[in-house]
């Protein structure tokens, strides 16, 4: 397969390069960066020296790149992908957007939370959270890759809402991300002296991943689900740990919760159920496409607490995109992703 990465100079784009290097059926033919057009990718990322020394192109000639490619990964901020997708709508290339432009079934929700008009509302898209939307992803030509916080939160809560084991108006999600989730462009808030030795919340009640989590959980529950979501930033490079709370429905037992997780994920290669009473860690999934999940039940408050850990750049971005590509093209979805976590 010929694959191209639009936006290769960001962290998600670089992670796509790293993972696709180990994919036996993929050959990278184009890499783009508007800020670094004409430079070698190995100049921006020296760890790629003599592995990928490709010259970065501009995406101005997107039509030619799409003609050269079987799969196009778009790793750009929201608002860009829909312009590109419209420009190449006449071509059979499969497109996986790692941004938010094609994650929402209702584009008015996207417009309300992202504060930009959606210029391609009629595009036929599929939500790219592989473990839950696998059947829809098969054969799909336009996939809106799930977000990082959303992947951790949705996977943690789906077994509970699907089986109606919790009260739908009681769900809280607290999630902590490494600073790579903020992107590679320098900002004051992620400048080393500002960020190191600190831990902070941000985006309470307004983070854009909130409606994405609600959309998926509502579909899984078969009824509207509204949540509170609060993200946090930790002084680590990569990883997300989500802590999700919900009040159990009347009569629900610990065994019911255990059975729901087993039924949902027992056969999922990339979901590792650590079981009741365990504690996932970002270190144990570092550099991989795994999502580790564990849960606790508090008999005093009749609440369930679910922990999930992912690598935000892999299962939360590039790895999930490749998993979606594999499913869409009817390959073994583990291809190129069967990796042992890096440790320590």
Sign of CA dihedral 22, 145, 209, 310: negative
Contact 127, 212 (CB under 8 A): no
Would you give the DSSP letter of residue 314? I
Pairing of strands 126-128, 172-177: unpaired
Query: Annotated catalytic, 291?
Result: no
Cβ 272 vs Cβ 293: under 8 Å:
yes
Q: Give the separation between CA 122 and CA 87, rounded to whole angstroms.
A: 14
Catalytic residue among 20, 98, 143, 148: 148
Return the closest-CA partner of residue 237 out of 304, 164, 185, 286. Answer: 286
Asked if residue 253 lies in contact with residue 264, where contact means CB atoms within 8 angstroms, the answer is no
CB count within 10 Å of CB 21 equals 13
Cβ contact 19:337 at 8 Å: yes
Paired strand residues for 3: 28, 71
187 CB contacts (<8 Å, ≥6 apart)? none
Query: What is the distance between the alpha carbons of residues 316 and 336, in angstroms, rounded to a whole number?
Result: 16
Distance CA 53, CA 263 (A): 46
User: Tokens representing 248?
Assistant: 């159990």
Q: Which residues are CB-neighbours of 162 under 8 A, at least 6 positions away?
A: 220, 221, 260, 264
C-alpha to C-alpha distance for 87 and 75, rounded to whole angstroms: 17
Cβ atoms of 4 and 29 closer than 8 Å = yes
> Which are the catalytic amino acids?
148
């Amino acid at each position: 397969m010929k694959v191209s990465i639009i936006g290769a100079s960001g962290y998600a784009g670089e992670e796509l390069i790293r993972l696709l290097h180990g994919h036996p059926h993929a050959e990278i033919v184009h890499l783009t960066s508007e800020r670094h057009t004409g430079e070698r990718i190995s100049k921006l990322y020296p760890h790629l020296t003599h592995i990928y020394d490709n010259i970065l192109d501009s995406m101005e000639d997107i039509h030619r790149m799409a003609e050269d490619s079987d799969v196009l990964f778009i790793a750009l901020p929201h608002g860009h992908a829909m312009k590109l997708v419209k420009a190449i709508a006449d071509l059979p290339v499969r497109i996986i957007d790692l941004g938010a432009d094609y994650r929402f079934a209702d584009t008015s929700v996207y417009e309300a939370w992202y504060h930009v008009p959606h210029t391609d509302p009629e595009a036929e898209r599929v939500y790219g959270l592989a473990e839950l939307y696998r059947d829809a992803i098969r054969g799909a030509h336009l996939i809106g890759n799930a977000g990082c916080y959303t992947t951790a939160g949705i996977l943690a809560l789906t077994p509970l809402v699907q089986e109606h084991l919790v009260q739908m108006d009681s769900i809280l999600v607290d999630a902590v991300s490494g600073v790579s989730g903020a992107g590679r462009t320098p900002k004051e808030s992620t400048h080393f002296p500002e960020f190191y030795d600190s831990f902070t919340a941000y985006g309470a009640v307004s983070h854009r991943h909130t409606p994405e989590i609600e959309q998926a959980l509502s579909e899984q529950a078969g009824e509207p689900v509204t949540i509170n979501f609060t993200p946090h930033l930790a002084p680590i490079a990569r990883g997300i740990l989500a802590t999700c709370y919900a009040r159990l429905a009347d009569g629900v037992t610990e065994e019911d919760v255990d059975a729901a997780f087993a039924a949902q994920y027992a056969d999922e290669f990339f979901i590792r159920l650590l079981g009741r009473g365990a504690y996932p860690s970002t270190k144990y999934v570092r550099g991989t496409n795994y999502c580790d999940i564990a849960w606790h039940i508090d008999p005093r408050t009749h609440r369930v607490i679910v922990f999930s850990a992912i690598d935000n750049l892999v299962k939360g971005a590039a790895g999930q995109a490749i998993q979606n590509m594999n499913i869409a093209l009817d390959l073994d979805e583990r291809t190129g992703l069967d990796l042992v976590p890096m440790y320590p």
